[in-house]
Structure 1
Amino acid sequence: MRIPHLRWWIAALLFLSTAINYIDRQTLSVLAPVLTRELGLSPIAYSNILTAFLAAYTVMYVGSGFLVDRWGTRLSLSVFMVWWSVANMAHAFAQGVWSLGILRFLLGMGESGNFMAAFKAVSEWYPAKERALVNGLINGGAAIGAVIAPPVVTWINANYGWQPAFVITGSLGFVWLALWLLIYYPPDRHPRITEEERAYVLADPPVAGGAKMPWQEVLRYRQTWGLLLARFFSDPVWWFYLFWLPKYLVEQRGFTMAEMGMLAWMPYLAADAGALIGGWISGRLVARGFDPLRARMAVMLPFAMVMPLSLAVNHAPGRTTTLALICVIAFSHMAWKTNQATLTNDVFPKPMIGVVSGILAFGNGLGGTLFIWMTGYVVQYFGYEAIFVLMSVLHPLSYFIVRRMVRGPLAV
């Protein structure tokens, strides 16, 4: 049976895999106030647990890129999903800092592969004018997962305890896996794609060139370094709101666990909207004849200029203002990130996407690892103010780097 518009069913599965990815990683963040009390976690201990996740996540961002290129999108994403789902379920057996740290490390080893495989799928299935929108859907899945996690995890914790929360969220990946294995194949040999859609997908030409090259060769290009440094500086903002927001709202702004569960989803929903709208705007610009690189940069600039609002978050007079500011920041960051991620597809040849995405994402993981590790010490000894000051300048700096170093597609 032929399936019309098959590429959008695949986009839906990529959206869902990312949503599950974020539900699983966010479960610990939502439960952080509870685990802080029950397991005696200080801010530094909590940051060290997060750092274990991000260290593995960073290393495997590079390693998973190679695995995606070697195994293909279908098999690699299946393996990644099983790995991180089992690791998340095993959190139910954690007894303290060390066991949590080890389990977070194992979770991080699997979760980064989701994005490497998704980037590869985007290059295989979507023409240039649709890539930003699909990347927006993928990033939107991250935000939706973060939206779902606070109310669901707090409800499970309130009714059954924190251990079942990890088991239940971890089991979602196995439901998704059955659908993925049924639907996903490369477009040139997919048994259920219509001939019209196959011709449409395969008609889009490569960005440039097409020869594979080792990662050492990729590092010779200024485009690689420009995008890597931009991710190093800007992505830690998202890591902070993902891992520290529930803890910040409960311990610094006086929210109860129930209130946090009812309200902490709002910034993540705003991020979801930012991902979709940011990708849609640049996609429209490309459809109207803009060069893809110019279109992404035109969208990134205004959203980078919004990010200094971080300075006001810790001084907001009430809960409504605090959440409103964080929502605007989350919206702007994800609109920025969608276009930043799409630059990888616009600048580099298709056969290089897996390896290049892994190398560029190393900047994401390294920046996040250092920032989250530092956050624990800063919060414990100085409070949150210095963190918000630092986050206010990271996106403008990243835009300047991209503008200077990424001026056109890679010619090989």
Structure 2
Amino acid sequence: MSGGDRTTLATPAAKVGMYRWRVCAMLLAATTINYVDRQVLGVLAPFLQDEIGWSEMQYGAIVTAFQAAYAIGLLCAGAIIDRLGTKAGYAIAICVWSIAAMSHSLAASVVGFMLARFLLGLGEAGNFPAAIKTVAEWFPRRERAFATGIFNSGSNIGAIVAPLLVPVIAVTWGWQAAFLFTGALSVTWLAVWLLTYRTPEQQPALSAAELAHIRSDPPEPSAKVPWRRILRHRQAWAFVAAKFITDPIWWFFLFWLPKFLNAEYGLTLLALGLPLVAIFVLADVGSILGGWLAGRFLRLGWSVNRARKGAMLVCALCVVPIVFAAQADNLWLAVALIGLATAGHQGWSANVFTLTSDMFPRHAVASVVGIGGFAGAVGGMMIATFIGWLLQTTGSYLPVFLMAGSAYLVALLIVHLLAPQLAPARLDDDAA
């Protein structure tokens, strides 16, 4: 029976099925694997640095290679996935990052790790564009935010799973096995995706009622808005600035926290797990509370501008105490301060992403997010090089924590100056 036939058989009284949530579970699994794969190097970094003998600046260069490729990938992935479709586009992205993840096991030099990280960045950049497009294909608009929130939680799950899984594998079978194992997870996901994924109209397991539910929205505008039109507006630059200034702090948390905990508190590979899990669990809590707080302010009668920026201010203030983490005498005090900061970042990020829908029409949101994601990756590339040089020359994490503690307040000030009322950008006027 064709997809069109199934649509006509649907009735208002028919029970809507749940198959679309299976697809969402696949996206959650892919995003979790994506973050596990990128986190392996960060968890193993203190010990690989001793074994292979790279310097702080060389480790910074390795991280920079990933960030540069990720930035390039964000510019290209969306167009490739739009052209090839979600099934083929997602498959290519995860195939590239699977090969890249496993290729780390063959690296024996700084150049080898840089090449592996560059390839990993190119592949992993395709995850979010492909997942968001899949959500658009499988969910009506009223369910998309929830579905996106579910699969996006995989970023925090991956950051929690990696420090639990990777040290055990590395200690038992060697560090190369950690890269091979996580790469194998990606290959397993790829096989399931290729065997089971179809568009809703082509999926025989989908009921007529659920297909009608998925296609219940009126047609959406599909015209692509050129970047040059978007970048004429101060609202776009507000989002770009927020991402450029604060995304690098998150990249620092992902790639340098294991090294910091090892250097300052002498944690062994196996001992890193619990502190890192505590930090990223707090990050997950912050992501939820940050979004809830803005909604709470709106329910109190605040304007969108005041509610959004009020929530962003609270999140920014949560990051400020991290300036004391570099000199904390107690491990768990440092973990608490860093965990509060990661919670602040994730709450901040939830509200920053929502800025795009506050200020831009739906058909332009993806483009604005892509521009901001590119800016954040470029910022991450710059901070990776800077941190490598800083640690090589001073050996102190204090300047990095000082920068992290102030970055969000600076970013909020710039957002307010560029978009004082969060007024909608009038893109239609540009086309006239």
Q: Say if 1:300 and 1:336, in contact at 8 Å, map to a contact too.
A: yes
Aligned pair in 2 of structure 1 residues 267, 385: CA closer, same or farther (>3 Å)? same
Change (3 A) 1:76 1:390: same
Higher relative contact order (CA 8 A, sep 6+): 1
Task: Name 2:9's counterpart in structure 1.
Answer: none
Alignment of 1:164-175 (within 5 A): 164-175=177-188
For the structure 1 residues 116 and 39, does the alpha-carbon distance in structure 2 shift closer, same or farther, using more than 3 Å as the test? same
Q: Which runs of 5+ in 2 are unaligned?
A: 1-5, 7-14
Q: Is the 8 A contact 1:126 1:201 kept in 2?
A: yes
Q: Distance in 2 between matches of 1:121 and 1:282?
A: 27
- Map of 1:321 onto structure 2: 333
SS in 1 for 2:327: coil
SS of the aligned residue for 1:323 comes to: helix
Structure 1 residue 22: Cα displacement: 0.9
Partner amino acid for 1:272? D
116-125 or 314-323, which deviates more: 116-125
Asked whether the 8 Å contact 2:230–2:427 carries over to 1, the reply is no
Quick one: percent identity of the two aligned structures? 38
Instruction: Give the count of matched residue pairs.
Output: 411
| Change over 3 Å in CA distance of 1:389–1:51 after alignment to 2 | same
Equivalent position to 2:284, from 247, 272, 275:
272
Residue aligned with 1:41, SS: coil
* Structure 2 equivalent of residue 156 of structure 1: 169
Report the AA paired with residue 99 of structure 1.
Answer: G
Aligned pairs for 1:84-95 within 5 A: 84-95=97-108
State the alpha-carbon separation in 2 of the partners of residues 195 and 296 from structure 1.
Answer: 40
Does the alignment pair 1:107 with 2:110?
no
For residues 360-410 of structure 1, give each alpha carbon's deviation from its aligned partner in whole angstroms, at most 9, with x where no partner exists: 211110111101110111122221111000111111222233343343265
1:230 equivalent in structure 2: 242
User: 1:130: how far off?
Assistant: 4.6
Q: Which residue does the alignment assign to 1:18?
A: 31
Q: Residue 227 of structure 1 aligns to which amino acid in structure 2?
A: F
Query: 5+ unaligned residues in a row in structure 1: which ranges?
Result: none
Map of 1:306 onto structure 2: 318
- Return the offset for 1:17: 1.1
Does the CA-based 8 Å contact 1:133-1:276 persist in structure 2?
no
- Please tell me whether residue 376 in structure 1 is matched to residue 388 in structure 2: yes
- Counterpart amino acid of 1:243? F
Classify 1:235/1:274 alpha carbon distance in 2 versus 1 (closer, same or farther; 3 Å): same
Contact 1:135 1:338 in 2 (8 A): no
Evaluate the alpha carbon distance shift between residue 48 and residue 217 of structure 1 in structure 2; reply closer, same or farther with a 3 A threshold.
Answer: same
TM-score, structure 2 as length reference: 0.85
Judge conservation of contact 2:87–2:194 (CA < 8 Å) in 1. Answer: yes
Distance of aligned partners of 1:263 and 1:346 in 2 relative to their CA distance in 1, 3 Å threshold? same
CA contact (8 A) 2:261 2:267 kept: yes
Match of 1:393 among 397, 406, 410: 406
**CA shift digits 1:186-226 (9 cap, x unpaired):** 5566554445544554445688x542133333322333222
Amino acid at match of 2:60: S
- Scaled by the length of structure 1, what TM-score is found? 0.89
Give the match for residue 53 of structure 2.
40
Deviates more, 1:264-273 or 1:1-10: 1-10
**Whole-Å separation in 1 of the counterparts to 2:183 and 2:92:** 14
Whole-angstrom CA distance in 2 between matches of 1:17 and 1:289: 39
**Does residue 337 of structure 2 align to residue 332 of structure 1?**
no
Q: Which has the larger radius of gyration?
A: 2
One-letter amino acid of the structure 1 residue matched with residue 423 of structure 2: R
In the alignment, is the contact (CA less than 8 A) between 1:119 and 1:353 conserved in 2? Answer: no
> Residue 49 of structure 1 aligns with which residue?
62
- Taking a change above 3 Å as real, the CA distance of residues 3 and 171 of structure 1, as seen in their structure-2 partners, is farther
Are 2:282 and 1:263 equivalent residues in the alignment? no
Instruction: Identify the range of structure 1 (255-264 vs 378-387) with the bigger mean alpha-carbon deviation.
Output: 255-264
Q: In the superposition, relative to structure 1, how do residues 38 and 69 fare at CA in structure 2: closer, same or farther (>3 Å)?
A: same
Which whole-Å deviations, capped at 9, do the CAs of 1:39-94 have from their partners, x for residues lacking one?
A: 10111110011001111111111111222332233322221111101111011000
Aligned counterparts of 2:201 and 2:302: Cα–Cα separation in 1: 29
Alignment partner for residue 136 of structure 1, among 123, 128, 149?
Answer: 149
Q: 1:20: Cα distance to partner?
A: 0.4
Structure 1 pair 270–206 and aligned structure 2 pair: CA distance change class (3 A): farther
Deviation per residue, 1:8-32 (Å, 9 max, x gap)? 3333222221110111111111111
The code of the aligned residue for 1:270 comes to L
Say if 1:132 and 1:282, in contact at 8 Å, map to a contact too.
no
Letter in 1 for 2:160: V
Q: CA deviation at 1:274?
A: 2.3
Aligned to 1:408: 424
| Per-residue deviation, 1:144 | 0.9
Residue matched to 1:254? 266
Deviates more, 1:350-359 or 1:298-307: 350-359
Provide the residue aligned with 2:159 in structure 1.
Answer: 146
Q: Give the Å deviation of 1:183.
A: 5.4
Q: Contact 1:272/1:334 (CA < 8 Å) preserved in 2?
A: yes
Aligned-partner SS, 2:153: helix
Q: Measure, in 2, the Cα distance between the counterparts of 1:13 and 1:283.
A: 29
| Contact in 1 for aligned 2:16/2:213 (Cα 8 Å) | no
Which range is displaced more, 39-48 or 61-70? 61-70
257-266 or 95-104, which deviates more: 257-266
